Amino acid sequence: MGVAEIVEEHDDWVKAKILLDTVEPHELLDPTLSAEDLLYRLYHEDGVTVYPETQLRRHCTCSVETVAEMLRRFSPEDRADMVKDGEIEVVCEFCSSVYRFKPSQFA
Ligand SMILES: [Zn+2]
């Protein structure tokens, strides 16, 4: 990407922000004005493309297998330090799933 392209991109972004600043609070609060209509109102000169919405859902890739594999990479001493009340408990930081293991399964 050349310098001229970067400058051009920058100008487009500045223009986009200037136009966005012209939005009045009542437009943002108007229940009869859809987001698509507002976008068109602001940016119709440059063309507006609205992509189909994407449904988001909570999803985490953790599993008993991946957590056990992670625990296997620790040294036996480190795993021994993790044992509480006869088991190793791991809580996924992303989805809060709780996994419990018997220390003997890593022997
Ligand atoms: Zn998770």
Q: What pLDDT tens digit does each residue of the chain (107 aa) get?
A: 555 555 566 888 899 999 999 999 999 999 999 989 999 999 999 888 888 989 988 899 999 999 999 999 999 999 999 999 999 999 999 999 999 999 999 98
Residue 5 has a pLDDT of 59
**69 C-alpha vs ligand 1 centroid, how far in Å?**
14
Give Cβ neighbours of residue 74 (< 8 Å, ≥ 6 apart): 82
Q: With CA atoms as reference, report the closest residue to 28 among 18, 39, 43.
A: 39
Give the separation between CA 3 and CA 21, rounded to whole angstroms: 27
The Å distance, Cα 86 to ligand 1 centre, comes to 23
> What is the distance in A from the centroid of ligand 1 to the CA of 45?
45
Reference 42, options 13, 19, 12; nearest CA is 19
pLDDT for the residue 107 = 80
CATH class of 64-106: alpha beta
- Is this model's pTM higher than 0.85 or not? no
Ion ligand 1 residue ranges (Cβ < 5 Å): 60, 62, 92, 94-95, 97
Domains of the chain, by residue range, sit at 3-43, 64-106
Per-residue pLDDT, 10: 83
